[in-house]
Chain A
């Protein structure tokens, strides 16, 4: 398996522009997670899906952020409009969803490094 795939790997945009981040989870994984990582705040969970259904979006910072998972193999995280404080590394991760350590292990994608000028 190719692992979790994210695109783009790097994104530089100007304040006010729309940004769309994409993720393809590992096939067969029932859970998908979106994280944001900064030096100041560490790794923050934004939202997660179970079987394509959003379960908890309490980590989404504000209405400018939205996430969708139209099918089991694709998810997007959108920021509209973007602001400089959104600059961070955004990770997508997936897990099997079965109980126990192995089933709960999260596999992370390479991340998208976002810079909003």
Chain B
């Protein structure tokens, strides 16, 4: 059973701070890693993907991948109230289909 684990939260951070979201996975053969954002009452939308060890930056977002330790993180710099949402981690192993975690709820308070 391929598992993707996320802390459900909520993670509460003040505006302007760095929010750190973590995800661990069980399948060592995993190859692609995705972060989706889901606002309340809306559908998930892709923030970014990563498939090489290390960091990948896109604006205020940085994804960090450590395959040896089997975790992937998402850092959000200069957090804004508009970043308040649920963040879903998805991991694609040997099959084409990614497995989604349950998501972490992020609250950015002014």
Q: Which residues of A contact B (CB under 8 A)?
A: 31, 33, 42-43, 45, 48, 56, 91, 97, 100-102, 104-111
Are the C-beta atoms of B50 and A101 separated by less than 8 Å?
Answer: yes
A-chain residues with CB within 8 Å of residue B50 when the two chains form the complex: 101
Are the C-beta atoms of A43 and B97 separated by less than 8 Å?
Answer: no
Are the C-beta atoms of A108 and B44 separated by less than 8 Å?
Answer: yes
Interface centre among A56, A106, A111 (most CB of B within 10 A): A106
Nearest Cβ on chain B to A8's Cβ, whole angstroms:
15
A-chain residues with CB within 8 Å of residue B101 when the two chains form the complex: 42
Partner of A105, one of B42, B46, B88: B46
6 chain-A/chain-B pairs, Cβ below 8 angstroms: A45-B99, A45-B100, A56-B97, A97-B96, A102-B49, A104-B32
Nearest Cβ on chain B to A58's Cβ, whole angstroms:
11
Q: Which residues of B contact A (CB under 8 A)?
A: 32, 34, 42-46, 49-51, 88, 90, 92, 96-103
CA gap between A43 and B51 in the complex, in Å: 22
Are the C-beta atoms of A91 and B49 separated by less than 8 Å?
Answer: no
Nearest Cβ on chain B to A65's Cβ, whole angstroms:
18
CA gap between A106 and B99 in the complex, in Å: 12
Are the C-beta atoms of A48 and B49 separated by less than 8 Å?
Answer: no
A-chain residues with CB within 8 Å of residue B97 when the two chains form the complex: 33, 45, 48, 56
Are the C-beta atoms of B32 and A109 separated by less than 8 Å?
Answer: no
Are the C-beta atoms of A109 and B51 separated by less than 8 Å?
Answer: no
Chain B: which residue is nearest A48 at the CB level? B97
Are the C-beta atoms of A106 and B98 separated by less than 8 Å?
Answer: yes
Are the C-beta atoms of B43 and A105 separated by less than 8 Å?
Answer: no
Nearest Cβ on chain A to B108's Cβ, whole angstroms:
22
B-chain residues with CB within 8 Å of residue A43 when the two chains form the complex: 44, 88, 100, 102-103
